[in-house]
Amino acid sequence: MDCLPVCQRGLPKKVGIRYNEHNSNMNEATVNKTDITVRYLRSYEPIATEPLQTDNLSDSRKRGNSMKFTKMQGIGNDYVYVNCFKEKVEDPGEAAIKVSDRHFGIGSDGLILIKPSEVADFQMDMYNADGSRGAMCGNGIRCVAKYVYDYGLTDKTSVSVETASGIKYLDLTVENGKVVLVKVNMGAPILEAAKIPVVSEKEQVINEPLLVDGKEYRITGVSVGNPHAITYIDDVKGLDIEKIGPKFEFHPAFPDRVNTEFAKVLDDHTVEMRVWERGSGETLSCGTGACAVAVASILNGYVKEEEVTVKLLGGDLKIYWDREENLVYMTGPAAVVFDGEIEL
């Protein structure tokens, strides 16, 4: 029998090897004066195989249950976007959980499906990182506008998008054939407590006290297609948002849970904020949240009734509340990160 070579740093130069046959297929070599045991196959039987015939398999089986996607971000608020004119997602909630995982998935704040619409140019169907259905995302809808133009689904620079919060209208700024800025008509802000919803005896919740985790906060409630609670604090950067954010999100005052903005006024036209989004946790940016902060800051008299710059972790957004029309406009960038395909 041929000897099995043993190469190991630290072994003596002359090593005695004893072979003990255990069965017809496996041998054991024991190295003297060490605890090393080497096992190896002595013989094997070839297995007859035939090539897999794939001609009769469907495209989905040939590809596996895969999904083509584009990852995009609006000042750091990143989502995975799927062109449902071409792709089909069987279980969007489960898909959102998988793709959003930043260690085992793509990494995102959620999943947004771009679909045909019977009432607008396109439909945006969004899901949060925990798989729950989302109503509206300001950063997300800007990315939808960029996608449909940059990827050739439209050549119009003014588009309408159907969302769970109604139809939104967007104006695109194009440079060198690509969208660089998107202005979104976010519609009228909702201030009635029952419609946000916020549990309150008052019709509107503006600078009202709320006890959260044993501490009193003053909150202003605004809906911009989804519920927001805005509270003003002195130290935005030092806030332990991972601790306090869920306390707001699941507070009984908010029947549908809530997005919470922790804001600080810098001057009469600038506000900084951090956001805890329901279903996603802290994100680098939230477009509807920035709109809600601008509206709340005007209602509380903290800023002038003109364009407000809202500074978020991911960048700045320009928000304008037209009081005569009672419409909120948001302007900001959108960017493609990469395209890919993932097995679901």
Predicted confidence (pLDDT) per residue in 170-220, tens digit: 999 999 999 999 999 999 999 999 999 999 999 999 999 999 999 999 999
User: Which pLDDT band, with edges at 50, 70 and 90, does 305 fall under?
Assistant: confident
Residue 311 has pLDDT above 90, yes or no: yes
pLDDT beyond 80 at 314: yes
242 and 287 inside one domain: yes
Q: Which of 3, 7, 286, 291 is catalytic?
A: 286
Residue 58 lies in a domain: no
Assess if residue 291 is contained within a domain: yes
Query: Are 34 and 119 in a shared domain?
Result: no
Does residue 57 belong to any structural domain of this protein? Answer: no
Using 50, 70 and 90 to split pLDDT, how confident is the model at 309?
very high
Q: Are residues 86 and 205 in the same domain?
A: no
Q: Alpha carbon of 270 to those of 3, 219, 313: distances in Å?
A: 79, 19, 14
Residues 117 and 217 in one domain: no
**Can you tell me whether residue 133 is helix, strand or coil?**
strand
Cβ pair 188, 328 in contact under 8 A: yes
205 in the same domain as 130: no
Q: How far apart are CA 143 and CA 137, in angstroms?
A: 10
Whether a cis peptide bond, with omega within 30° of 0, leads into 227 is no
Q: Are residues 181 and 204 in the same domain?
A: no
What average pLDDT does the structure give for the chain?
A: 87
Whether the per-residue pLDDT at 41 is higher than 50: the answer is no
- Using the predicted structure, report yes or no on whether residue 312 has a pLDDT greater than 90: yes
> Are both 112 and 71 inside the same structural domain?
yes
**Can you give the pLDDT at residue 63?**
52
Beta strands 17-21 and 26-31, pairing class: antiparallel
pLDDT for the residue 65: 86
Asked if residue 58 has pLDDT above 90, the reply is no
Concerning whether 143 is annotated as a catalytic residue, the answer is: no
Q: What is the mean pLDDT of residues 48-61?
A: 44
* Residue scoring higher pLDDT (11 or 154): 154
- Catalytic status, residue 7: no
**Among 344, 333, 338, residue whose Cα is nearest residue 75:** 333
Band (64; pLDDT cuts 50, 70, 90): low
CA–CA gap between residue 14 and residue 19 (Å, rounded): 16
Query: Is the Cα torsion angle 45, 50, 54, 56 positive or negative in sign?
Result: negative
Is the same domain home to 132 and 94? yes
What's the CATH code of the domain at 282? 3.10.310.10
- Average pLDDT of the residues in 113-130: 98
Q: 263 and 229, same structural domain?
A: yes
Confidence of residue 10 (pLDDT cuts 50, 70, 90): very low
SS3 percent helix, strand, coil of the chain, rounded to 5, is 15, 40, 45
Query: Does 130 score more than 50 pLDDT?
Result: yes
Q: Considering the domain boundaries, does residue 142 fall inside one? A: yes
331 in any annotated domain: no
pLDDT in tens, 280-289: 999 999 999 9
176, part of any domain:
yes
Is the same domain home to 213 and 317?
yes
- Residue 341 is predicted with a pLDDT of 97
Q: How many domains does the chain have?
A: 3
Backbone angles phi, psi at 234, to 5 degrees: -85, -35
What is the distance between the alpha carbons of residues 224 and 290, in angstroms, rounded to a whole number? 10
pLDDT band at 320 (very low <50, low <70, confident <90, very high): very high
Which among 3, 7, 84, 137 is annotated as catalytic? 137
pLDDT, residue 11, reads: 38
Q: What is the pTM of this model?
A: 0.79
- Of how many residues is the chain composed? 344
Amino acid at 294: A
Residues 77-88 pLDDT 10s: 999 999 999 999
Pair (208, 303) in one structural domain: yes
Domain residue limits at 305: 193-325
Cβ pair 193, 221 in contact under 8 A: yes
34 or 139, which is more confident?
139
Domain assignment present for residue 79? The answer is: yes
DSSP state of 202: S
User: For position 164, what pLDDT does the model report?
Assistant: 95
Give residues with Cβ within 8 angstroms of 254, minimum separation 6: 197, 198, 199, 227, 229, 248
Residue 227: what pLDDT? Answer: 97
Residue 56 maps to a domain: no
Do 197 and 317 fall within a single domain?
yes
